[in-house]
């Protein structure tokens, strides 16, 4: 039963009163901007077109609604926990307080897939837009140093054969060495995060204003170029399971769920928020609502301007601008600048979240103390940030975007499902704990949140499931060899 020993919520709340190691500087507005900074990025500038072309057609808006609905239920559960236990560990801490240490470790290990690999994935997309913008300016960066040296294809017929899934399907590109721009942006943002959370927040706010302005410009000016014939049929007939029809809409929802991962990253900044009991729910739910509206509007305009079959490209918004003709040509450089800014803020929020989870896990003894080291001047978890940035740089420089993106989606969905279950558990085991924000319609909302997440996970490819199982097996081994023996709760 020691595997399921829980942290006392009242003790966690008391601990916050005496722990001033992280600086409290963020308000509700800053949290909403952090959420928008994380959410508006790869989803609009990369994944929208690819998911429409491959899986859902113009019905991609239903995929965004489905993914947004799953996030809304999960967001309500996150908001209850974030207001009640405003600690940097996010879902990891919530799991520790509700379902015990072992489940908390599973969530913490799983969140590495979400934050660290998400930062790497988005950095690859950033590199593509940056290289394209440089080309437009007459600067041609060497192809060998702007793309990953490895690509990966689905291994047909492998099933759950782990050895085949990890060893086959890889292709070495002899003309590529490293994706240097992707590595450089991760390094620069990691440095900014070490300097301070307030400086990082100001940088993020500027970027958010730029990219939201660009997105709104695309919606406003692009609407005049919509051709309704491009929306017919709105739900293309299914060609095979997972491709068009309702199954394609669900598959697309599972893939574009990657676009929504930012809202829960807001909760990792709880310990650096001035009034977390009031501000955390506003930050989480506010950013989620704003971004869902923007996603749906962009999807409608994009599939209205360009036939969905032509959108399987790295820069679908730019393709939409080109399809509109000379009338929108002036917007093309702004779209690229907006994409670069948007992807930069996503990387920033992802790289901010992961070290703070490591920080909390190390304070609990489940990771070595080096992960909880706080810089004496900047008051940030600097060593954890350096280590996170170094691994993210390697992944961004070497690995293909598709493989990273699927791992991020399945890891995020699993974490969300566990958080939804945690709200339900805590309502029955500790009903009298003060809750500044209460998830409405319990048990319906937590059950729907967990159910939606599991449903979307089921639509992801089986090889992604196999990699998740292997990743979790590695994490469980680390817990039993190190974490369980050094846990401060057991001591």
| Stretch 121-131: mean pLDDT | 83
pLDDT digits (tens, 9 = 90+) for 358-383: 888 888 889 999 888 888 877 778 88
Rounded-to-integer distance, Cα 436 and Cα 204, Å: 28
State phi, psi for 171 to the nearest 5 degrees. Answer: -130, 130
Residue found by looking up tokens 């955390």 in the block: 280
Rounded-to-integer distance, Cα 106 and Cα 418, Å: 10
Rounded-to-integer distance, Cα 191 and Cα 383, Å: 11
Q: With bands split at pLDDT 50, 70 and 90, how would you rate the model's confidence at 343?
A: confident
pLDDT digits (tens, 9 = 90+) for 206-264: 888 888 888 899 999 989 899 999 998 889 998 887 788 888 898 888 777 767 776 67
**Lowest-pLDDT range of 67-71, 172-176, 475-479:** 172-176
| Stretch 325-337: mean pLDDT | 84
Q: What is the DSSP letter of 179?
A: B
Q: Which of 16-25, 200-209, 263-272 has the highest mean pLDDT?
A: 200-209
Q: Are 41 and 342 a contacting pair, CB within 8 Å?
A: yes
Measured CA to CA in angstroms, residue 239 lies from 234, 242, 245 at distances of 15, 8, 8
pLDDT at residue 477 in the model: 93
Three-state DSSP state, 240:
strand
Token couple for 354: 């992961």
Residue found by looking up tokens 């917007």 in the block: 331
pLDDT at residue 16 in the model: 65
pLDDT at residue 149 in the model: 76
Residue 86 C-alpha from the chain's centroid: 20
The beta-strand segments (E) located in 155-294 are: 170-172
State phi, psi for 81 to the nearest 5 degrees. Answer: -65, -45
Q: Which residue, among 380, 379, 359, has the nearest Cα to 369 in the 3D structure?
A: 359
* Mean of all residue pLDDT scores within the chain: 81
Q: Are 338 and 130 a contacting pair, CB within 8 Å?
A: no
pLDDT at residue 437 in the model: 81
Q: What does the CA dihedral 144, 149, 154, 155 come to, rounded to 10 degrees?
A: 130
Token couple for 392: 């993210």
Q: With bands split at pLDDT 50, 70 and 90, how would you rate the model's confidence at 157?
A: low
Q: Are 436 and 84 a contacting pair, CB within 8 Å?
A: yes
What are the structural domain ranges in the chain? 30-486
- Please list the residues that pair with 356 across neighbouring strands: none
**Protein fold of 30-486:** Amino acid/polyamine transporter I (1.20.1740)
Angle between helices 60-84 and 91-98 in degrees, nearest 10: 60
Residues 6+ apart with CB under 8 A from 458: none
Instruction: Write out the H or E segment, with its range, that includes residue 151.
Output: strand 150-152
Q: Is the pLDDT of residue 315 over 80?
A: no
Rounded-to-integer distance, Cα 78 and Cα 107, Å: 14
| Stretch 182-203: mean pLDDT | 82
State phi, psi for 465 to the nearest 5 degrees. Answer: -60, -45
Q: Is the pLDDT of residue 161 over 70?
A: no
| Selected residue with higher pLDDT from 233 and 148 | 233
Rounded-to-integer distance, Cα 149 and Cα 61, Å: 34
**The pTM of the whole model exceeds 0.95:** no
Q: With bands split at pLDDT 50, 70 and 90, how would you rate the model's confidence at 154?
A: low
| Selected residue with higher pLDDT from 400 and 210 | 210
Token couple for 491: 């001591």
Measured CA to CA in angstroms, residue 462 lies from 59, 155, 465, 473 at distances of 24, 10, 5, 17
Q: Residue 46, exposed/middle/buried by CB under 10 A (0-12, 13-18, 19+)?
A: buried
Provide DSSP, 67-81.
HHHHHHHHHHHHHHH
Q: With bands split at pLDDT 50, 70 and 90, how would you rate the model's confidence at 58?
A: very high
pLDDT at residue 361 in the model: 87
Q: Is the pLDDT of residue 26 over 80?
A: no
């Amino acid at each position: 039963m020691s595997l399921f020993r829980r942290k006392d919520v009242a003790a966690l709340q008391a601990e916050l009163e005496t722990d001033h190691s992280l600086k409290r500087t963020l308000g509700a507005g800053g949290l909403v901007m952090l959420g928008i900074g994380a959410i508006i990025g790869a989803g609009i500038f990369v994944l929208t077109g690819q998911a429409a072309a491959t899986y859902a057609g113009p019905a991609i808006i239903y995929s965004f609604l489905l993914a947004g609905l799953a996030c809304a239920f999960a967001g309500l559960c996150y908001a209850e926990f974030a207001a009640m236990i405003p600690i940097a560990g996010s879902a990891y801490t919530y799991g520790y307080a509700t379902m015990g240490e072992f489940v908390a470790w599973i969530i913490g290990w799983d969140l590495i897939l979400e934050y660290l690999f998400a930062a790497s994935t988005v950095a690859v997309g950033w590199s593509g837009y940056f290289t394209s913008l440089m080309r437009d300016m007459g600067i041609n960066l060497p192809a060998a140093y702007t793309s990953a040296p490895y690509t990966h294809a689905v291994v047909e017929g492998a099933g759950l054969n782990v050895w085949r899934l990890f060893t086959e399907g890889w292709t070495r590109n002899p003309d590529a060495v490293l994706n240097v721009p992707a590595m450089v942006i991760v390094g620069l943002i990691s440095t900014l995060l070490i300097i301070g959370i307030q400086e990082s927040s100001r940088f993020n706010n500027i970027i958010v204003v730029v990219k939201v302005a660009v997105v709104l410009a695309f919606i406003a000016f692009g609407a005049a170029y919509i051709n309704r014939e491009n929306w017919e049929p709105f739900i293309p007939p299914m060609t095979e399971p997972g491709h068009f029809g309702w199954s394609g809409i669900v598959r697309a929802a599972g893939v574009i769920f990657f676009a929504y991962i930012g809202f829960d990253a807001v909760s990792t900044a709880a310990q650096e928020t001035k009034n977390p009991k009031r501000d955390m729910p506003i930050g989480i739910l506010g950013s989620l609502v704003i971004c869902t509206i923007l996603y749906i509007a962009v999807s409608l305009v994009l599939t209205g301007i360009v036939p969905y079959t032509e959108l399987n490209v790295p820069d679908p918004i730019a393709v939409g601008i080109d399809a509109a003709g000379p009338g929108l040509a002036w917007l093309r450089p702004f779209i690229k600048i907006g994409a670069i800014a948007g992807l930069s803020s996503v990387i920033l929020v992802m790289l901010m979240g992961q070290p703070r989870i490591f920080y909390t896990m190390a304070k609990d003894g489940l990771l070595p103390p080096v992960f909880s080291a706080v810089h004496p001047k900047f008051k940030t978890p600097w060593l954890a940030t350096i280590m996170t940035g170094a691994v993210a740089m390697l992944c961004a420089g070497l690995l293909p975007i598709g493989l990273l993106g699927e791992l991020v989606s399945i890891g995020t969905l699993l974490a969300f499902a566990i958080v939804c279950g945690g709200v339900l558990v805590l309502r029955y085991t500790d009903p009298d704990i003060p809750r500044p924000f209460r998830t409405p319609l319990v048990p319906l909302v937590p059950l729907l949140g967990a159910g939606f997440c599991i449903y979307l996970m089921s639509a992801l490819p089986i090889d992604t499931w196999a990699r998740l199982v292997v990743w979790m097996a590695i994490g469980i081994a680390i817990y039993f060899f190190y974490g369980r023996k050094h846990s401060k709760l057991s001591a």
